[in-house]
Structure 1
Amino acid sequence: MVSYVFNFSFLERTWTQFLMGAGQTIVLAGSAIVLGFILGVVCAVLRTGGGRVASTIVGAYVEVIRNTPLLVQIFIVYFGLPTIGLRLSAEASAIIALAINTGAYSSEIIRSGIESIARGQLEAAECLGLSRVQVYWHIILLPAIERTYPALCSQFVLLMLASSITSQISAQELTAEANIIQAETFRSFEVYLVVAVVYLGLSILFRAALHLIGVLAFVRRRRLGTPL
């Protein structure tokens, strides 16, 4: 019978590395979420009301991103852009690749919300004399984002977890730091158990932060007490 003795003594000297890695993960994921959300909104608007050409281009972008591995997309940005003279750091490449990826998924989520808006609401807005911009902003886009916000939150948390893949291009996030610590201590089991716990904590933190943003952003839901 094999007996394994757990040893977490390495945490005494490496906890700062885990902390820095977690902080970098928050920066990478947070930046990609903001950029990806903006890209997703723009793509959803173009696909639903931007004409045939814009809709086709956005549709092709979404299909390409959704049907190729995230790791390959990261490699294309990090190793491909330098071939055309655009050199970026590992962290910048990671943010761009993650934003492009989450933008495609977010656009489809938001598009489903836009298409769920009842035609009668649009007719009522037109009867009230609202401009096209006002109709799209207040009657279509904001309610669509509100309806799909829970799905967006789940997608953003998945993005944060997927950011671990960026360790493959030496982005110094949590998993990359864990790989370094594991190579120094040879305590693979313990190191990755710690990483799993930290990622669990980050998931809870991100969900709490996104919930708070939803409470502040969607006044109607807050008044009605509707869960986000």
Structure 2
Amino acid sequence: MNEEFIFLLERLVPALNKGVLVSLQLIVPSAILGIFFGVVVGACRAFGGGVLRALANGYAALFRGTPLVIQLFILYFGLPNVGIYFQPYTAAVLGFTLCSAAYHSEYIRGGLLSIKRGQVLAAQALGFSTFTTLIWIIIPQAFRRALPGCGNEIVYLIKYSSLAYVITCFELTGQAKIVASESFRFSEVFMVVGVYYLILVSVASYGLRRLEKRLEIPGFGH
């Protein structure tokens, strides 16, 4: 058994497997919370009153307009200056959620605005409140239309979860950087890391395609 194979099996793969578990612990809650808050913010941007819509638009502009790494630095290194402290994992999940929700809100807003006004008027004529109309009639349709965009954001989330290591949350990329720095085998290490991310993205893309197919309504497309 040659040296490269021993390095791969005994040093690199165990470290990367440890890191990918942390990555999944970052990605899954961030994706779920990001979609949830994205729906809320998107609904406020599409149907909120003047102040509420302005706040939602400001939030989306702030988190879509600034680099994620800067947001993570502020959450982890900046907020302690005002007495707010987060553990690395908590800061990473919070940062990913806030950033992801801002992008999801744009897809959701577009989906909501694509629903014909007549459906809202018909629901109101049947006695539905605005909130009930949104929850049971508008948002389910809008989510189907926004799902490809939201799925694309989840794929991006998988990849930019690699930034967690900059605030000392050592996920897949962080573990790879440690191994590469100790062994000076940067090419080999990061080529294998690329394969890990490719597998994660491929699995997520397959799951999202299955979800789109599952939510398809016969006669109405996706």
Per the normalisation by structure 1, the TM-score is 0.89
**Superimposed CA distance per residue, residues 175-198 of structure 1 (whole angstroms, 9 cap, x where no aligned partner):** 000001101211110000000000
Distance 2:87 2:5 in 1: 33
1:125 alignment partner in structure 2: 123
* TM-fit CA distance, 1:168: 1.0
Distance 1:36 1:87 in 2: 22
**1:9 to 1:225, Cα distance in 2 relative to 1, 3 A:** farther
Distance 1:101 1:170 in 2: 19
C-alpha root-mean-square deviation of aligned residues, in Å? 1.9
Amino acid at match of 2:71: Q
2:185 alignment partner in structure 1: 187
Distance 2:42 2:192 in 1: 39
Q: Is the 8 A contact 1:28 1:163 kept in 2?
A: yes
**Superimposed CA distance per residue, residues 100-140 of structure 1 (whole angstroms, 9 cap, x where no aligned partner):** 10111110110000011111222222333333333111221
Distance 1:25 1:49 in 2: 35
Alignment of 1:18-29 (within 5 A): 18-29=16-27
The equivalent position to 2:133 in structure 1, one of 125, 132, 135, is 135
Alignment of 1:49-64 (within 5 A): 49-64=47-62
Per the normalisation by structure 2, the TM-score is 0.91
Distance 1:57 1:11 in 2: 50
Distance 2:92 2:45 in 1: 26
Unaligned runs of 5+ residues in structure 1 are 1-5
* TM-fit CA distance, 1:203: 0.4
1:11 alignment partner in structure 2: 8
Distance 1:203 1:192 in 2: 16
Amino acid at match of 2:7: F
Distance 1:204 1:125 in 2: 40
1:210 paired to 2:204: no
**Superimposed CA distance per residue, residues 79-117 of structure 1 (whole angstroms, 9 cap, x where no aligned partner):** 122122222111111100011101111101100000111
Is the partner of 1:172 in helix, strand or coil?
Answer: coil
- Greater Cα offset, 62-71 or 7-16: 7-16
Distance 2:217 2:8 in 1: 42
* TM-fit CA distance, 1:211: 3.6
Give runs of ≥4 in structure 1 deviating > 2 Å.
6-9, 123-134, 208-216, 222-227
Is the partner of 1:10 in helix, strand or coil?
Answer: helix
Distance 2:210 2:82 in 1: 42
**1:140 to 1:222, Cα distance in 2 relative to 1, 3 A:** closer
2:162 alignment partner in structure 1: 164
Amino acid at match of 2:193: V
The equivalent position to 2:98 in structure 1, one of 92, 97, 100, is 100
Amino acid at match of 1:93: A
Taking only the aligned residue pairs, the percentage that are identical comes to: 33
**Superimposed CA distance per residue, residues 48-97 of structure 1 (whole angstroms, 9 cap, x where no aligned partner):** 22211011111111111111111101100011221222221111111000
* TM-fit CA distance, 1:165: 1.2
**1:198 to 1:224, Cα distance in 2 relative to 1, 3 A:** farther
Unaligned runs of 5+ residues in structure 2 are none
Q: Is the 8 A contact 1:77 1:97 kept in 2?
A: yes
Amino acid at match of 1:11: L
Distance 1:115 1:226 in 2: 18
